[in-house]
Amino acid sequence: MSPSIPLQEMIRAIRSARTQCEERGVIQRECAVIRAQFRQSDNDGRSHNLAKLLYVHMLGYPAHFGQMECVRMIASPRYSEKRVGYLGAMMLLDEKQDASLLITNSIKNDLSHSSQYVQSLALCTLACIGSAEMCKDLAPEIEKLLRASNSYIKKKAALCAIHIVRKVPDLGELFARTARSLLAEKHHGVLHGAVVLITVLCECSPDTLERFRKTVPDLVRIMKSLVTSGYSPEHDVAGISDPFLQVRILRLLRILGRNNEAASDTMNDLLAQVATNTDSTKTVGNAVLYETVLTVLDIKSESGLRILAVNILGRFLLNNDRNIRYIAMTSLQKIVGTDNIAVQRHRGTIVDCLKDPDASVKRRALDLSLALASASNIRSMMKELLMFLSSCPPELRAETTSGIFYAAERYAPSQRWHIDTILHVLTTAGGDVRDETVPNLILLITNASELHCYTVHKLYRALLSDISQQPLVQVACWCIGEYGDLLLRGECREMEPVEVTADSVLEALETVLQSHMSTPTTRGFALTATMKLSTRIMDNVDRIKSIVSIYGSCIDVELQQRAVEYNALFKKYDHMRAAVLERMPVIDRNSPGHTNGDSMGGVIKELEVDKVKQRETLLPQLPANQVCDLLNLLGDSEESVPAGPAQGDTVPVQSITTAKPIGGELLDLLGGFEPTPLASAPAVTVYEKNGVTLTLSCEKQSDSAVTVTLKGCNSSDSDVTSFALQAAVPKSVHLNMKAPSGDTLPAKGLAHVTQLVLLNNPNKVNLKMRIRISYSSQGSSVQDTVQIDSFPGLS
């Protein structure tokens, strides 16, 4: 058997290994030796064998064969072996391992050991890896130790109790009374432990919090003595006496004073004293001030104190230390909702922090700047934000653009400013904007009818300079298509007149169509725009015809379809062309089917209903059953509009939602896999036939949003396949059907099919839903319709 080398020799050997392979070799050899020695029951060098193993473990190599050795060493009578054994247990075992249960008995014995250092090892290990069962077993022991006379043990027992309460909150009751009495201690370690214990107890149970409110005067007294006492060399850190304890007391006061007038009054003087007297030149002083500010802002403090707190934060903002500025902004973010005016005073400094080179500070400054945007400062704020956008780090771009759009929408002083802002963002960071921006912007432009001429000119110029930013190109194409005639007229009040010919417009669109940078969606926009221009610009119809016919053989199916249809429009239905391609009506923001967050769906529904009507006349060979289904559902109830998937400017061919379940069979095999949230409302059976039942339950998500869960079940003896649901709702309600969990209902109710339907009802109309259920059972297909007039769980 090769001799085992001392720990430090091994470390040196590993460090001098030149390659990963060499290192692995050394470690494998050592591990083999260690394993052999573990098997020997009596061994002198047990502790440093285990230490070697722990070192190897820290390097990332497997060391689980050491777990049993840890258990054995913990039970050893020698202190050095216990020490390393417990260390090994904390590193190799955790509550999920079975081996950790084996040490429960050793810990129990060691908790009543004569030596306080052995007791402390046991306490430390319990606080580190104690599972819920171990905590329940040993809680009475810990409580006894809390009342011991030894301060060293008391402080450790307090922190161990904290771990127990965190793991098993019900045991909090056991420690509450002792915790209260510990506040009378003089020893700072014990006092600190007691304060943290009380904090955790209060966080766990509101009743305990009520009881501990009586301790507020004691806490104030302790804090005062810390702040006003003289220099104590043991606890002093840069002039502050025991900052750790001070911060914890302030935090406890915060919890106790929240929502309670009486408690808040008691601490007012103390907080004012700490806020004014703490030395803020070093980090430690600022840590205490920071905690004080957080406490003042969270309790029911008097207004003078609040202003003092916000001023301290303002001072922090001007501090040279980046850390201080960062936390100042974090804190201001928390109160910007409630104390907006106070925070507005520091707007200048915050906006300056946008230019700070540090990424963390920039992020905070961005969040806070967006929160501070208001109607009065929007112009200057936007200027700063746009400047920030041009130089901001890539990870913050999406957030910035979303924030800018939101602020612009809320506080735009004029429509022209709004359009200008959005255009600026699209040119600077077009690649990072959200998808809904394009339809939102289009909506905005159609609504600003006086600005059509100005907008189309600006967009045309932007298009000429850069066609790489897709959202910008899409909006530009759409506008040129709609308002091409205004573009050619050349006159525009707000901009210098520029000569624009029909040829140059068509050339611009052609460039977009041919560029490799354009996505298929963008090409779709450009093609439709070209087509629309055929009615707006009279003289170049041939050129348009040729462009359109080229795409009749395009590889992209969507473009090809469009091109073929437009070709047909030229050839067979020329008489209808003008009517079909006339200018779009102004889309009203609150039109049926339009919702604020999802204007996409609204715009598309309008387009969809219009275009479907066009298509009916154009191409009668469209899959007849789908068109018929559409008509059927429309026919059944005058007010229903079928749900359609929203997909850019494309006309959905299948406007009925029957999302194909992906791997439906697999999901059914997995049985219980249901991606639905737990229905908190009662389920109502809405359909029952042939053993197939459909239950409906719904949950209100917000004022106008409802989530409906449909669950299908089959209690008959044979399987039901091709189970599909279709839904229709009144016109002003927006419907979004998620993919069902599957399409097969196995016999005897072995598994369910669940489907989520999200409804948005902004106009608060009477919610009704018609559901068509179709499935195959025993060889025959069944189709049924149910009408739901009242939804369970909705008031």
Task: Please say which residue, 353 or 681, places its beta carbon nearer to other proteins.
Answer: 353
Sheet holding 769-777, edge to edge: 640-642, 720-730, 769-777, 780-788
User: b/e per residue, 476-487, with b = 16+ CB within 10 A?
Assistant: bbbbbbbbbebb
Q: Which is nearer to other proteins, 326 or 483 (CB)?
A: 326
Q: Minimum distance from CB of 519 to other proteins (Å)?
A: 32
Find out whether 402 and 441 touch, Cβ atoms under 8 Å. Answer: no
Where does 448-540 have alpha helices with state H?
452-465, 470-489, 502-514, 520-536
Q: How far is the CB of 86 from other proteins (least distance, A)?
A: 9
Cα gap 670→240, rounded to integer Å: 61
Residues that bind other proteins (CB under 8 A): 6-8, 11, 15, 47-48, 51, 54-55, 58-60, 78-80, 83-84, 87, 94-96, 115, 117, 120, 123-124, 127-129, 152, 155-156, 159-160, 162-163, 166, 188-189, 192-193, 196, 234-235, 237, 242-245, 247, 251, 283-284, 286-287, 290-291, 322-327, 357-361, 363
CB 228 within 8 A of CB 209: no
Tokens 């400054």 belong to residue: 365
Nearer to other proteins, 127 or 751 (CB): 127
**Closest separation in Å from C-beta 5 to other proteins:** 12
191 vs 548, beta carbon nearer other proteins: 191
Q: Nearer to other proteins by C-beta: 30 or 291? A: 291
Question: Nearer to other proteins by C-beta: 82 or 770?
Answer: 82
For the bound state, the minimum distance from the C-beta of residue 406 to other proteins, rounded and expressed in Å, comes to: 21
Minimal distance, residue 700 CB to other proteins, in Å: 27
Q: Are 664 and 744 in contact (CB under 8 A)?
A: yes
Map tokens 């905005």 to a residue.
444
- Least spacing, CB of residue 577 vs other proteins, in Å: 57
- Minimal distance in Å, beta carbon 696 to other proteins? 35
CB 351 within 8 A of CB 365: yes
Residue 95 beta carbon to other proteins: minimum distance, rounded to whole angstroms: 5
C-alpha span between 47 and 53 (Å, rounded)? 10
Give strand pairing partners of 542. none
CB-wise, 155 or 458, nearer to other proteins? 155
Dihedral sign, Cα of residue 592, residue 595, residue 596, residue 598: negative
Q: What angle do CA 289, 294, 297 make, to 5 degrees?
A: 120
Nearer to other proteins by C-beta: 330 or 690? 330
CB of residue 122 to other proteins, shortest distance in Å: 12
**Closest approach of Cβ 240 to other proteins, in Å?**
9
* Secondary structure element (H or E) that encloses residue 753, with its range: strand 753-760
Helix, coil or strand: residue 155:
helix
Burial of 719 (C-beta count, 10 Å sphere; 0-12/13-18/19+): middle
**Bridge-based pairing state of the strands 640-642 and 720-730:** antiparallel
Whichever of 10 and 554 has its CB closer to other proteins, that residue is 10
How many Cα atoms are found within 13 Å in the side-chain-facing hemisphere of 495?
21
Residue 15 or residue 516: which is nearer to other proteins going by CB? 15
CA distances 515 to 383, 501, 522, 528, 659, Å, are: 33, 21, 10, 16, 33
> Is 130 or 742 the residue whose CB approaches other proteins more closely?
130
Where does 93-239 have alpha helices with state H? Answer: 99-111, 116-129, 132-146, 151-167, 172-182, 188-204, 206-212, 216-228
Tell me how far apart the alpha carbons of residues 190 and 196 are, in angstroms, rounded to a whole number: 10
Give the total residue count for the chain: 795
Q: How far is the CB of 204 from other proteins (least distance, A)?
A: 13
DSSP-derived secondary structure for 265-325: HHHHHHHHHHHHHS--SSHHHHHHHHHHHHHHHHTT--HHHHHHHHHHHHHHHT-S-HHHH
Q: How far is the CB of 531 from other proteins (least distance, A)?
A: 49
Q: Which is nearer to other proteins, 127 or 270 (CB)?
A: 127
Radius of gyration of the chain (CA): 36
**Minimum CB distance to other proteins, residue 481 (Å):** 44
Distance CA 625, CA 633 (A): 12
Closer residue to other proteins in complex, CB, 94/352? 94
Smallest distance, Å, CB 148 to other proteins? 16
Kindly tell me which of 33 and 250 has the beta carbon lying closer to other proteins: 250
- Written as six digits, the tokens of 576 are 């209808």
CB 527 within 8 A of CB 551: yes
323 in Cβ contact with 283 (< 8 Å): yes
CB of 395 to other proteins, least distance (A): 12
For every residue of 313-361, which 3-state class applies, written as one string?
A: HHHHHCCCCHHHHHHHHHHHHHHCCCCHHHHHCCHHHHHHHHHCCCHHH
The number of angstroms, rounded, from the C-alpha of 262 to the middle of its chain's C-alpha atoms is 38
Least separation in angstroms between CB 293 and other proteins: 11
Nearer Cβ to other proteins (108/187): 187
Give least dist CB 26 to other proteins, A. Answer: 15
C-alpha to C-alpha distance for 319 and 327, rounded to whole angstroms:
11
Minimum CB separation of residue 471 from other proteins in Å reads 29
Distance CA 332, CA 350 (A): 10
Tell me the three state secondary structure of residue 366.
helix
Identify which of residues 89 and 442 has a Cβ nearer to other proteins in the complex: 89
Let me know if 682 is exposed, middle or buried by CB neighbors in 10 A (0-12, 13-18, 19+).
exposed
Q: Which is nearer to other proteins, 322 or 416 (CB)?
A: 322
Whether the CA torsion 30, 31, 36, 42 is positive or negative: it is: positive
Using the minimum distance from each CB to other proteins, give the nearer residue, 211 or 363: 363
